[in-house]
Structure 1
């Protein structure tokens, strides 16, 4: 059987699209304290230097927060898809501006305030503002308090915005008036980069949309131990970093072999 890493390394133009939290960065009780592990950062850097290779982060985080935790500067070559594929940052262009209905934005703000008020007395519960809605974090709450918070906000959304999308993640439930998923993010970035193959990696339930959307020339990687549509599973972030480092090395070797005598063009 063909080794999946060797197969994807040999494609003409590769897009490596990566979830952030739980895939490149350990999960944190303080979401804004998340940072790439040193090994993951080194692996991403090696991929950026590989020929005909583009790296993207595809996250449920808002674009503002994703850029902060990824330490993403204006001159970065890394593409970003935030808010589950509803926001984008493109090298050389910057953030793609979106025009949302003021009615949706006003309802977002109102529901965020209602959720904050409804959960204010629940220890360990935190409402995270997001571009198109908000998230209910319960990682620091006990099980009973987390269940109470989620039930309270579920009832609030059902009463005031039943058309919003609900997503579950690691100790978080997200609510949004936009319905894009990470499959949208991967498809958009594939078109933008003219990728012939995509590697997508993630660890959470919200990553399954993207994993299920991949084609026969792509590769899905899951970090962790739960059921997944990914064809490759690694146990943790160090193993994910090792896989990406190996891909970068094999990618460089494969592309040099495909075009003898041609120097690689770094950074995608």
Structure 2
């Protein structure tokens, strides 16, 4: 048995398992129109199976706002899945619903002014698009060419450096994001671990911001990186389909162990 196989078996048979997963690029293919993203049918099926097993919690941990994450995850009020939006600054708990985020009116006002200012600053760069976020803003450059994307990022960085230097800066697949909240996916996973009393955590992601959570995992946990890039993960898989196969194996092992 390889070390990766042993790690998969260990989390599959732990007493209380938390499965905390990034969404875009991990369960859903990356798309040009962010709100059209949907998880693959096989991914949804295995998550539903896992959520139905004893002492097993499924959570989505995303940089998306909570409202947008609920749309793209096709998540309704009866869902057993936990959600952590805005890199953990927003939460939805089964049975309770959305947990109100604590933010400041001045921060929200600055967010609105900077969103408008950045939108003006990048208007000349085709394919660059500014997304208002609950606690900040994001610059999408997936449909921009390399020169326009670079110029738009530089213009956005200049605005934020001058007007909100304390905001947290994050980069990802064709996105540059700023937030006045400083939570990360590591703190989101820590919160979930405590809330559900997990004895082990499986976290998977495909992007730079997921590495915060992957680095935070401890002995007995399993980190999975979907796709390329430097990673702290224990296990790397090529794509969403390969990751779904890992989840399906965990579901089989956990079901057999519970029986």
User: Displacement, 1:147?
Assistant: 0.2
After TM superposition, the runs of 4+ consecutive aligned structure 1 residues lying more than 4 A away are none
**1:12-51 Cα shifts (integer Å, max 9, x gaps):** 0000000000000000000000000111111111111222
The question of 1:205 aligning with 2:208 is answered yes
The 5 Å alignment of 1:115-154 reads: 115-154=118-157
Greater RCO, CA 8 A, separation 6+: 1
Match of 1:47 among 39, 42, 50: 50
Deviations 1:191-211 (A, max 9, x none): 111111100000000000000
How many matched pairs? 256
Secondary structure of the structure 1 residue equivalent to 2:243: helix
Q: Secondary structure at the match of 1:43?
A: helix
* Partner Cα separation in structure 1 for residue 190 and residue 101 of structure 2: 18
1:231 and 2:230 correspond: no
1:91 aligns with 2:90: no
Q: State the partner residue of 2:13.
A: 10
Q: Distance in 2 between matches of 1:233 and 1:206?
A: 16
1:156 to 144, 159, 162: 159
Which residue of structure 2 lines up, in the alignment, with residue 217 of structure 1? 220
CA deviation map 1:145-180 (0-9, x unaligned): 000000000000000000001000000000000111
1:244 alignment partner, SS class:
helix
Per-residue deviation at 1:100?
A: 0.8
Provide, for residues 61-101 of structure 1, a one-character-per-residue CA deviation record: whole Å limited to 9, x for no partner.
Answer: 00010000000001100000000011000001100002211
Normalised TM-score (structure 1)? 0.94
Aligned residue among 231, 234, 241 for 2:244: 241
What is residue 67 of structure 2 aligned with on the other side? 64
- Is residue 2:40 matched to residue 1:37? yes
1:122-147 deviations in Å (ceiling 9; x for gaps)? 11011111100010000000000000
Q: Secondary structure at the match of 1:166?
A: strand
8 A Cα contact 1:43 1:242, kept in partner: no
5+ residue gaps, structure 2:
none
- Cα RMSD (Å) of the superposition? 0.8
Q: Which one of 162, 165, 168 corresponds to residue 165 of structure 1?
A: 168
